Structure 1
């Protein structure tokens, strides 16, 4: 069994423009005579590799603690896709019915609203990208609303450098954060 960690490191990842910069504060240090090492941290819910819940763009949508965790684990397909994908591109790619789809595009794989609609109609249960957002910089809202409105969680900020296109099993559980619209995750692909 092969495990591929597809998570970006929380404190060294470039934050999305306008988002707060994550930081870690050292509270206690053994090398300074404390009995233990202890630290706290601050981060935006959308820092590094994270999962968007419907509440991110849907006013009465589920928060991250209300997401069915079965959506975050299971069969997954990684595809190479760079640029802004349209509905026609999704129809051509034929995403897996009832599975999870991750877009590997060197941080440049985005969806249009028509692509998000096609994915929602295809029956996928989770979509992910190695870009900081599933929506292109000039059109982020529409793809988010289309997917999240259909109850499809979005993984963003993946590190798919070591993941070749193909089939895997994905594990990407969000932190249990009541009422939050998103959460950092530790995302792992498994290949037998």
Structure 2
């Protein structure tokens, strides 16, 4: 069995423009005579590799701890694109991929692609970028996907992963009432 850690290290991770970068302080430090080390975190729920909950863009929708974890854990497909895919290219992928799909490469999910993904009832879409939609206007794509309760996994790192099918584990941290949460995303080769 081979396990691929596709998670960014949190404190050196890419941060979405405008978000506060994650930091920590060592509240207790053994080097200073404390009996143990204790770390206090300060971060945005959308730092590093993370999952968006529908509540991120819909008031009153499911928050992160209410997500169906079966959408975050299970068989998935990794598909690489050398350039931005069009609707026809994505449809060819959707006709044969698993219900959890990770897009490798500099891919942005456009509104057309998001609508197509919903036609194929994807459970999870993962991308390497920090936002699933276009940087200049991510709202519409988020609304389309999260409105159908598609799990949005952002900020994965797939450079060491080949195209193919894997087992994905990307359960979010259980942050009650939160619009998103970091996760430790791994792929298992089977």
TM-score for both structures, normalised by structure 2: 0.95
Instruction: Tell me which of 91, 107, 110 is aligned to 1:109.
Output: 107
Structure 2 distance, partners of 1:100, 1:77, is 6
Task: For 1:77 and 1:96, locate their aligned partners in 2 and report how far apart those are by CA, in whole Å.
Answer: 9
**Are the equivalent residues in 2 in contact too, given 1:87–1:116 (CA < 8 A)?**
no
Provide the rounded CA distance (Å) in 1 between the counterparts of 2:95 and 2:22: 34
Decide whether aligned partners of structure 1 residues 86 and 112 sit closer, same or farther in structure 2, where only a CA change above 3 A counts: farther
Report the secondary structure of 1:46's partner residue.
Answer: coil
Matched, 1:21 2:57: no
**Partner of residue 144, structure 2:** 146
Q: Normalising by the residue count of structure 1, what TM-score does the alignment of the two structures yield?
A: 0.94
Matched, 1:76 2:82: no
- Counterpart mapping for 1:1-192 below 5 A: 1-96=1-96, 99-105=99-105, 108-192=106-190
User: Structure 1, residues 114-145: CA drift from partner, whole Å, max 9, x if none?
Assistant: 10010011021100001111111123111111
Does the 8 Å CA contact 1:16/1:132 hold for their aligned counterparts? yes
Give the CA RMSD over aligned residues. Answer: 1.4
Report how many aligned residue pairs link the two structures.
Answer: 190
Tell me by how many angstroms 1:98 deviates: 5.8
In structure 2, distance between residues paired with 1:95 and 1:11: 38
Q: Structure 1 stretch 166-175 or stretch 134-143: which is displaced more?
A: 134-143
Distance 1:95 1:133, change over 3 A: farther
Structure 2 gap ranges (5+): none
Structure 2 CA distance for partners of 1:40 and 1:162, relative to 1, 3 Å: same
8 Å CA contact retained: 2:76, 2:98: no
- Is there any run of 5+ residues in structure 1 with no aligned partner, and where? none
**Distance in structure 2 (CA, Å) of the matches to 1:179 and 1:38:** 25
Q: Check conservation: 1:111, 1:136, Cα contact below 8 A.
A: yes
Deviating runs (4+, > 6 A) in structure 1? none
